[in-house]
Amino acid sequence: MIIAAADGSSLSNPGPAGWAWYVSDDIWAAGGWDHGTNNMGELMAVLDLLQSTAHVDEPLRILCDSQYVINSLTKWLPGWKRRGWKKGDGKPVQNVELMKALDVALKGREVEFEWVKGHAGHAMNEAADERARAAATAFQQGREAETGPGFPASLPGRGAAEFTVGQVDEQPDLFGDAPAEDAPKPVPGTAGPRQKAALVRATRSLFEGGARLHPEFVVQSAAGESATTPWPKAVDGELLSVDGLGPESALVRARVEDRLVALVWVELPGGWALRLAALS
C-alpha cells in the first residue's frame, strides 16, 4: 500500500496558494498558483497524487487534514453528479473542474482517506504542509516553486527511461504538409521529468479510453482534414516520444493501431487534456 499525506496552503485565502503531497523525502511533489484558495490547494494535492500514482497497481491511503476534501470525495460526489454538479440547495459545486477531474482520477482505484489533525505534529502531514506553504510563498515572492522529485514514473514492464525525450525538430514530422490551422506549432524544447511523467500517464489513459479531452478536441487526417470526434474507448497504442512545446503544452508521438499519431496536449486546471490528434 502507498501511504501519502496531501495538503494545501493559501496565503490570505484567497491569495498565493500551494499544494503538496508527501510519501517520503525522496517521493513528493508540490505546486501552486498566483491566486487560489486553501480548498483548491487541498484538492489539487489529492488530484496530483492520484495522477502521479495511476500507473502503480497498489492500494492508496491518503492522509488529509481537510474534512472538506474527504467528505467531498467519499460522501457528496455521487449526489453532485446526479444533480448535474449542483449541491442540494441547487447552487453550483465549488471548484467543479477539480471535482470532475478527481472523479475521473478515482475511477478504478483502490483509495481510502484518513483524517489527521493538522498542525499537531503528524510527521507526514507536517512535511506536506511545509512543502505546500513553501510553494505558496514562492508564488507570493514571484520566484519558481520547488516541485519535488514526484513519484517514480514507470509502466508495467517498462521504465520511464525507455521513452525517448528529445528536441522536437529532431523527430520526424507527423503532422504532414497541412497541419490544422489552430494547432500549436512545434518548437525546439524538451519535457521536464515531472511533465514527462504526467504525459506518459495521460497517454496511457488515452490508450485505455479514459483520458481527458479538451473542449475543442479535433482529429486531423493525413489529408489535413479536421473533425470533432470522440476518442475510441480503448486502442492498441505505443508511446514513442515526449517533447516540449511550451510552458503549458506538449507534443507526444505514438503508434496507434499501426498508425503514427501526433498528440498535442494542453495543460488545464486539473491536468492534461488532449487538444489535437494528427494521424499520419
Is residue 258 marked as binding? no
Q: Is residue 48 situated within a structural domain?
A: yes
Q: Are residues 106 and 180 in the same domain?
A: no
Residue 181's pLDDT band, with cuts at 50, 70 and 90, is very low
pLDDT band for position 155 (cuts 50, 70, 90): very low
Specify the CATH number for the domain of residue 262: 3.10.450
Supply the pLDDT for residue 192: 60
Please indicate whether residue 119 is annotated as part of the active site.
yes
- For residue 220, what are the domain limits? 155-279
pLDDT at 154: 37
pTM of the predicted protein model: 0.59
Which of 32, 41, 55, 129 is labelled catalytic? 129
Q: What are φ and ψ of residue 213, in 5° steps?
A: -100, 140
Question: Among the options 41, 42, 48, 150, which is catalytic?
Answer: 42
- Does the pLDDT at position 258 exceed 60? yes
Q: Which of the four pLDDT bands, split at 50, 70 and 90, describes residue 244? A: low
Q: What is the number of structural domains in the chain?
A: 2
The predicted model gives 230-243 an average pLDDT of 79
Catalytic residue check, 8: yes
Which entry of 36, 48, 65, 148 is annotated as an active-site residue?
Answer: 65
Please confirm, yes or no, whether 65 is among the known catalytic residues.
yes
Closest CA relative to residue 251, chosen from 261, 259, 240, 243: 243
32 included as an active-site residue: no
Contact 48, 150 (CB under 8 A): no
pLDDT in tens, 186-216: 333 445 666 777 788 888 888 887 778 888 8
pLDDT value, residue 41: 95
65 labelled ligand-binding:
yes
Catalytic residue among 119, 144, 181, 236: 119
The residue type of 256 is V
120 and 221 share one domain: no
pLDDT tens profile 75-95: 999 999 999 999 989 999 999
